[in-house]
Amino acid sequence: MKDYNEVKCLEHSIIIIRREKVFTRLLSNLPFDRLLILCDINTWKYCFHEIVPALSSKSCHIHIIEAGEESKNLSTLEGIWETLSNEGFRRNDAILNLGGGVVCDIGGLAAATFQRGMQFIHVPTTLLAMVDAAIGGKNAINFEGLKNQIGVFAFPYQTFIYPKFLRTLPYRQIRSGFVEMLKHALLKGDDLWNRLSAIEPEEVMHHLLYISEAIKVKVSYVDEDPFDQGIRQALNFGHTAGHAFEEWSLLKQPQPMLHGEAIALGMLVELELSVKLTDLDDNFALLASNIFKKYIHFPIPTLQDIEQLIDLAGFDKKNKDQSIRFSLLQKTGKPVVQVAVSRETLSNVLKNIILSFS
């Protein structure tokens, strides 16, 4: 019997491991003699030592980047390419990404582009990365103030989910990741949603067994539509508005929102849009909004920020009649993609949400 759980995403393995010995054994069995270990400053301090025993037989070079969304940019990517180049890495070597969404996204992009593509391994260390960023082959950097503008689809050789890393995280980060698990539960259906939505934010750490279920939900969408042409876009529920909040907070706030926090706020907007445009039951939307509100404890935009938020959501400033496409929900387990939303509708909903906090 296997001493780990394996979920297949297309033909790639996501391996969920509880025991340290198993984690070390599987990492040391990776078929690469030479690895670039990509860390951020936090995973270098708090997580790197956990992988050291597995690496004794390999030649490794470590590259450390700044932590946080601000470093997911071209100059950080260039730094990784420079190291790969200066240290003589070759296409049959691999990058091991030890970190959260930023490290996995940028490390995946560096690997997929260096010498037209080398292999990479994700070892996500945040809950958000374990259930979302490290799953599904999206790799990107932010560009000109917009999230994930430059990127590629490329799938990791393997992804190792080792929940012990979560002990190194501030609780705020765990709650932020749990918002994505709640989103996956909405997309899966009543059973998972009822179980996850009953968990209070301060209890989240005791319910990590749900990680595999959340991963399986994401994988089911990726398997059906790996290159995001249709139904995979359902995973963006909460994200069109959520990314606008995240970009707004990067521009305007001394302490930017975490991704999951911005998505919680985006959920409020997109649940209300779903009531208006895809017949989501309004009692359910209210109930779900109250769950997501428990994850929002930070300054939110004001009415004066609405125009900027609309632009950040992807509307063209010059074309006032334009609509953009959202992924919404008809009911739990029944997403609807590509729903046209006008500027005016989004503006009204943003106004309602902002006023609901006053």
* Site for ligand GLY, rule CB under 6 A: 132, 136, 138, 228, 232, 235-236
Q: Name the minimum Å distance from CB 239 to ligand GLY.
A: 7
Between residues 136 and 301, which has the closer beta carbon with respect to ligand GLY? 136
Q: Name the minimum Å distance from CB 43 to ligand GLY.
A: 21
Q: Name the minimum Å distance from CB 88 to ligand GLY.
A: 33
User: CA 58 to CA 96: how far, in whole Å?
Assistant: 12
Between residues 23 and 245, which has the closer beta carbon with respect to ligand GLY? 245
Sign of the torsion formed by the C-alpha atoms of 294, 162, 216 and 100: positive
Q: Name the minimum Å distance from CB 137 to ligand GLY.
A: 8
User: CA 208 to CA 214: how far, in whole Å?
Assistant: 10
User: CA 202 to CA 238: how far, in whole Å?
Assistant: 22
Tokens of 88: 């003589």
Tokens of 33: 């003699």
Q: Where are the alpha helices (DSSP H) in the chain?
A: 20-28, 41-46, 48-51, 74-86, 101-113, 127-128, 171-188, 190-197, 211-224, 239-252, 259-278, 282-293, 306-312, 343-355
Between residues 175 and 232, which has the closer beta carbon with respect to ligand GLY? 232
Q: Name the minimum Å distance from CB 234 to ligand GLY.
A: 9
Residue facing ligand GLY at closest CB distance: 235
Contact 110, 154 (CB under 8 A): no
Strand 146-153 relative to strand 138-143, pairing: antiparallel
Q: What angle do CA 42, 236, 38 make, to 5 degrees?
A: 25
Between residues 227 and 357, which has the closer beta carbon with respect to ligand GLY? 227
Q: Name the minimum Å distance from CB 135 to ligand GLY.
A: 7
Between residues 155 and 315, which has the closer beta carbon with respect to ligand GLY? 155
Between residues 136 and 151, which has the closer beta carbon with respect to ligand GLY? 136
Between residues 225 and 279, which has the closer beta carbon with respect to ligand GLY? 225
3-state secondary structure of 249: helix
Q: Which residues contact 78 (CB under 8 A, 6 or more apart)?
A: none
Between residues 60 and 152, which has the closer beta carbon with respect to ligand GLY? 152
User: CA 63 to CA 41: how far, in whole Å?
Assistant: 10
Q: Name the minimum Å distance from CB 222 to ligand GLY.
A: 7
User: CA 72 to CA 67: how far, in whole Å?
Assistant: 9
Between residues 231 and 296, which has the closer beta carbon with respect to ligand GLY? 231
| Reduced 3-state DSSP string for 316-347 | CCCCCCCEEEEEEEEECCEEEEEEEEEHHHHH
3-state secondary structure of 119: strand
Q: Name the minimum Å distance from CB 184 to ligand GLY.
A: 10
3-state secondary structure of 262: helix
Q: Name the minimum Å distance from CB 261 to ligand GLY.
A: 16
